[in-house]
Structure 1
Amino acid sequence: MKSFFKYVLATVTGIIICSLLMILVIIGIVTSMVSSVSSGKDTVTPSNAVLLITLDHTITEKTEPNPFEGLDMPGYSGLKSLGLNDMLGRIKAAKEDSNIKGVYLNVAGVNTGFASMKAIRDALLDFKESGKFIMAYSENYTQKGYYLSSVADQVYLHPEGGLDFRGLASSVMFLKDALDKLGIDMQVLKVGTYKSAVEPYMMNSMSPANREQVNSYLGSIYETFVQDIAASRKLTADSVKGIANAFAIQQPEDAVKVHFVDSLLYKDELLTKVRQRLDVAEKTEIPVISILDYKNKPATGKATGDRIAVLYAYGAIVDGEGTTGEIGGDKLSRELRELREDDKVKAVVMRVNSPGGSALASDIIWREVELTKKVKPVMVSMGDYAASGGYYISAAADSIFADPTTLTGSIGVFGVIPSFQKLFNEKLGVHFDAVKTAKFADMDVDMDRPLSEEEKNIIQGSVNRVYQVFMKRVADGRNMSIANVDSIGQGRVWTGAQAVDLKLVDRLASLDEAIKAAAQKAKITDYRVAEYPRTKDPFAEIWSVSKEKVKAMMIDEELGDYGKYLKELKKAVGHTGIQARIPYLIEIY
């Protein structure tokens, strides 16, 4: 008995000691995270330095505070990101920084959309106007990586490397057979001939209408892609297209032959070139600072009490508050109300990068844009996407600006209600029985049976009504007839360049140009630009990391590019309510 109590006491003591140690470890981790995030001391830029841009990190629309960044722990190691807003700001600051002598691009691929990529490319073109150099080098260039790198004064490739250039393609993942095998019937109700967001649930290939619109917007993006490369490399657009059509770059030497790169160099030879541009001795260490660490900001002019607010709206549009990387209808509408009531804010520029989402949340946001426009100017600057719900929330603005490659429009709606009858009954052997007090009490709730025709007609009526409201919002905001909106709507996706001709967009312009237009409309000259939503306190950010966000981080860490397929399958059975969303997952290679 004495031995028993001794072992029990030892066990309890061990548990207490382990618990205390765990608490101390957690406190240490949290303290280090808070101190590392909140210290925020700018990295000193050495003189005669080169700004290194790699872009092997996630590029979000706005820098998202990550309290786990830099921690070597499972699921978080190596997680670094930089928002497009800060990236463009740092390139602009480097242009005026006397310590920065040039830019070294080491870009194999780019993890962002075409509009964001073009914004970075345009910022580098502006940087070149300072007379400073840009050199590009890589062992392997993807098409996106080369598009960005082609802006450089000299483009170099490893002698045994590769340059992929074969034209653009858009791939769609279809889920019909997979859902059939699982016994899931996706009951689709939609409006719009081109509203192809639901096609992956119903078909195994594109419909003719969808293929028509994809050909159209992909061709429009390709024209911008080709023209920009041709201009930088002093080639004709036709010759660039010919290189892609013939798949003329198969060996490293081919890239030199067609004038896509200037020469083939090993890394040591490239470093010699950099030293020559810096005018330093061969054995001198090259001062390099990564754009991730470069914290300089561009000059903002006289900072008076007047402000122009840049309100970032990026991600899927969802009901409620949403999380980081989502547009919560309640959260964004509250931000707009606060900006409308702030007398120091003279104009609002809403930066929209969204494929759409909840129709209800979109309308909630639209209302706040409409009310704000009556008090002060509201401009919209579109990023990679501003389609369907993303266009819905933009329609009421005074003016809309887009990139030539922005994907926008997609004016249409759909509803998806899954039926799990075959999965439950035939595959799992599970059956349900219910009692109800009215005929439609279990409609849209009891997913173990398909909808009746009468129920489908009821829901289709709701979908039709939302589409009519959507078209009216666009017609009122853009001074168009509903018939005109319907003719260019029907769920069809357009590029920014096409949308200008259709009067859905006012002009092609950058975020900076949208800010200048907002200042001009507000009739102010001395102002500062403030970004919203405000960045969270680092400590609050740590505790606001949701279970879903942690899971998403781990999926991205473990599955990489393949994680998107798991997310798409989960999304397929997770849609609720009527959706105003761009067609499926649009990917362009």
Structure 2
Amino acid sequence: MRKIFKLLIFIIIVVLIISFIKNFINSRKPYYIELELSSINEDFINLKDFPISPFLEQEETFPTLILKLYKIKDDSKFKLLILNLTNYNFNWEQTYELRKIINEIKKKREVICYSNSYNQKSYYLASACSKIYMANGSILEIPGIYTEILFYKELFDSLKIDIFPIQFEEYKSALEVLTRKEPSSFYKEQIEKVLNFHYNELKNVLIERGIKNPDSLINIGFFYSDDAKKLSLIDDIKYPDEFSEYKKNLRKGSLPEIKEFSNKKIAIIGAEGTITNEDYYNPFDKSRTIGKNFAKLLEKIRKDKSIKAVLIRLNSPGGSSLMSDIISREIKLLSKEKEVVISMGRVCASGCYYISAYSNKIFSEPFTITGSIGVIFAKVSTDEFYRKKLFINPYILKKGEHSDVFSSRKLSEIEKEGMRNLVYKIYEDFIKVVSEGRRMSIDSIRKLAKGKIYLGEEAYKFGIVDTIGGFLDALNYLKKKYKDVSFEFYSRELNIDLNLFSLGLIDKFLFLEPLFLFGDFVKP
């Protein structure tokens, strides 16, 4: 019995040694990485904090993906990157920054992009790859850029719903969809600026592919796979299982871990979503909000002596004026003790710009939408809607002349004027915060304000941001400045929200509460 036991031990040891040798030899072989890219968020969600976490999958975030790709770009054993873009849905700023890292990677190895079909965003990314492939019988779409805006004034008029809007100033046009039948000249000017930028970027990638007349190609718009190949929009028609020639003598690898260890740290925080009172995460649509727990996290980081600098990645259209001010104050306090750098995502406008103003340095990419220094307010009166459409008769009992100002009735002229004065004071505070934080005069900020949005390059030109660059550029700036430091991701506490209608936004659309916001209706 003892001999059998010794024999078993010997066999196990031999198997372990052989396995170790095989793994060691395999680890020395060149490798390829294959990624399927769909959608991705900016901020890290610690699923361990949620009671239902066993049923949720931990998400990759955009900052971690970029860092992993950056880490392997100089690995001599890394020989091939394959990107499946069939379900690609990164936002435009993420796509731009990812395209930059792909251009770096392909200097030393092959990068292959594949998709069952391409839309303009996935093709914009694929244009940076060494080879572009698509499936037979699929379609490549590059018909140009458009947006369709729905205006609800006639609907509300027919329902006897009255909306009293206040906006500071003329470019703060988010409420126009509720109060007009078509956009004002100010609204159209801003939308056309964004459309023109996107269109020109699309033309540039076609010119890089050797297309001499990109406008005529865009006007055709849709290309069957055979035609796309003939026009040199793609390199060939292939399926993923036909990439074996590229994978020959390569093992399949995976993206590396990005943990670093040091007594001194750069804290990395992500924050994405509308700015509200509470911090919510909805596992159904992956949406989240930015609230008081984000402010608490900033306070915690401020008191941590091991943290030397802070990098905050923001992607938000704005939101609550009160919560924007609370978070802004925390960043102001934090920036006095540690260097605070903001990396703007696709959108960091209105309330998001408000909370960025006191940071020490702001990075934005050309695709970033920022600015929108202004305030909106709307009072919705549903009294006639109740009486004439629903046959419900509201009856108000009150103590105090204006106690029912947010009931279903219309505002009086005195109340309207009072609201205008109140909103104007919030707007003036916004201008003062930006003036102080950016160290620019009140007059210069007032000229740049008016609710106007700015794309990255324009924002840099006017001093609204400090540097053109993405998340990786911001992190490298800090790592170069602070030697012998590691970076660590921090996440705020989030409340789980199981609302299928996404964080109660349906309530706001139905105007069950007054809007008193810095925010804009801008989709990231």
TM-score (norm 2): 0.86
Instruction: Decide whether the 8 Å contact of 2:44 with 2:489 is kept in 1.
Output: no
Instruction: Decide whether the 8 Å contact of 1:355 with 1:390 is kept in 2.
Output: yes
How many angstroms does 1:219 deviate by? 1.6
How many angstroms does 1:314 deviate by? 1.2
How many angstroms does 1:97 deviate by? 5.5
Return closer, same or farther for 1:532/1:70 CA change in 2, 3 Å cut-off.
closer
Cross-structure match for 2:497: 546
Cross-structure match for 1:348: 310
**Corresponding residue to 1:253 among 226, 239, 243:** 226
Query: 2:512, 2:396 → 1: CA distance?
Result: 23
**Corresponding residue to 1:573 among 498, 511, 514:** 511
Equivalenced residue count is 492
Return closer, same or farther for 1:497/1:428 CA change in 2, 3 Å cut-off.
same
How many angstroms does 1:239 deviate by? 3.4
**Corresponding residue to 2:189 among 189, 195, 212:** 212
Cross-structure match for 1:20: none
Query: 2:27, 2:523 → 1: CA distance?
Result: 39
3-state SS in 1 of match to 2:484: coil
Matched, 1:482 2:442: yes
How many angstroms does 1:585 deviate by? 4.1
Matched, 1:141 2:121: no
Cross-structure match for 1:14: none
Matched, 1:112 2:112: no
3-state SS in 1 of match to 2:460: helix
Cross-structure match for 1:103: 81
Cross-structure match for 1:122: 100
Return closer, same or farther for 1:228/1:305 CA change in 2, 3 Å cut-off.
farther
Return closer, same or farther for 1:169/1:126 CA change in 2, 3 Å cut-off.
same
3-state SS in 2 of match to 1:476: helix
**Corresponding residue to 1:61 among 19, 22, 42:** 42
| Aligned ranges 1:422-571 → 2 under 5 Å | 422-444=384-406, 446-447=407-408, 449-519=409-479, 523-533=481-491, 544-548=495-499, 552=502, 570-571=508-509
Instruction: Decide whether the 8 Å contact of 2:272 with 2:290 is kept in 1.
Output: no
Question: Which amino acid is the alignment partner of residue 473 of structure 1?
Answer: V
Matched, 1:174 2:126: no
Query: 1:304, 1:81 → 2: CA distance?
Result: 25
Query: 2:189, 2:251 → 1: CA distance?
Result: 51
Query: 1:364, 1:440 → 2: CA distance?
Result: 28
3-state SS in 2 of match to 1:383: strand
Query: 1:103, 1:322 → 2: CA distance?
Result: 35
Cross-structure match for 2:276: 318
**Corresponding residue to 2:69 among 60, 67, 91:** 91
Return closer, same or farther for 1:176/1:586 CA change in 2, 3 Å cut-off.
farther
Instruction: Decide whether the 8 Å contact of 1:114 with 1:405 is kept in 2.
Output: yes
3-state SS in 2 of match to 1:110: coil
Cross-structure match for 2:134: 157
Question: Which amino acid is the alignment partner of residue 230 of structure 2?
Answer: K
Question: Which amino acid is the alignment partner of residue 202 of structure 1?
Answer: T
Matched, 1:411 2:373: yes
* Unpaired stretches in structure 1, ≥5 consecutive residues: 1-43, 281-285, 554-565
3-state SS in 2 of match to 1:422: helix
How many angstroms does 1:385 deviate by? 0.5
CA offsets per residue over residues 11-63 of structure 1, 9 Å max, x none?
xxxxxxxxxxxxxxxxxxxxxxxxxxxxxxxxx9996554222223x311124
How many angstroms does 1:383 deviate by? 0.3
Matched, 1:196 2:177: no
How many angstroms does 1:112 deviate by? 2.9
Query: 1:428, 1:567 → 2: CA distance?
Result: 23
Query: 2:126, 2:513 → 1: CA distance?
Result: 39
TM-score (norm 1): 0.77
Return closer, same or farther for 1:147/1:340 CA change in 2, 3 Å cut-off.
same
Return closer, same or farther for 1:347/1:190 CA change in 2, 3 Å cut-off.
same
Query: 1:526, 1:297 → 2: CA distance?
Result: 19
3-state SS in 2 of match to 1:581: coil
Instruction: Decide whether the 8 Å contact of 1:191 with 1:464 is kept in 2.
Output: yes
Instruction: Decide whether the 8 Å contact of 2:44 with 2:270 is kept in 1.
Output: no
How many angstroms does 1:530 deviate by? 1.2
**Corresponding residue to 2:327 among 353, 361, 365:** 365
How many angstroms does 1:410 deviate by? 0.7
Cross-structure match for 1:379: 341
Return closer, same or farther for 1:255/1:179 CA change in 2, 3 Å cut-off.
same
Question: Which amino acid is the alignment partner of residue 463 of structure 2?
Answer: K
Instruction: Decide whether the 8 Å contact of 1:70 with 1:80 is kept in 2.
Output: no
Return closer, same or farther for 1:109/1:569 CA change in 2, 3 Å cut-off.
farther
CA offsets per residue over residues 271-324 of structure 1, 9 Å max, x none?
33x2212235xxxxx9656xxxx4522475xx3211111121211001244556
Instruction: Decide whether the 8 Å contact of 1:134 with 1:154 is kept in 2.
Output: yes
3-state SS in 2 of match to 1:578: strand
Query: 2:259, 2:322 → 1: CA distance?
Result: 40
Query: 2:207, 2:252 → 1: CA distance?
Result: 30
Return closer, same or farther for 1:218/1:533 CA change in 2, 3 Å cut-off.
same
3-state SS in 1 of match to 2:194: helix
* Unpaired stretches in structure 2, ≥5 consecutive residues: 1-25
Query: 1:229, 1:380 → 2: CA distance?
Result: 32
How many angstroms does 1:357 deviate by? 0.2
Q: Choose 256-265 or 159-168, whichever is displaced more.
A: 256-265
Query: 1:320, 1:264 → 2: CA distance?
Result: 49
CA RMSD of aligned residues (A): 2.9
Question: Which amino acid is the alignment partner of residue 250 of structure 1?
Answer: F
3-state SS in 1 of match to 2:116: strand
Return closer, same or farther for 1:357/1:288 CA change in 2, 3 Å cut-off.
same
Return closer, same or farther for 1:517/1:119 CA change in 2, 3 Å cut-off.
same
Question: Which amino acid is the alignment partner of residue 239 of structure 1?
Answer: N
CA offsets per residue over residues 145-174 of structure 1, 9 Å max, x none?
111111211112223111001222223232
Instruction: Decide whether the 8 Å contact of 1:317 with 1:326 is kept in 2.
Output: no
Return closer, same or farther for 1:229/1:307 CA change in 2, 3 Å cut-off.
farther
Cross-structure match for 2:13: none
Query: 1:572, 1:551 → 2: CA distance?
Result: 13
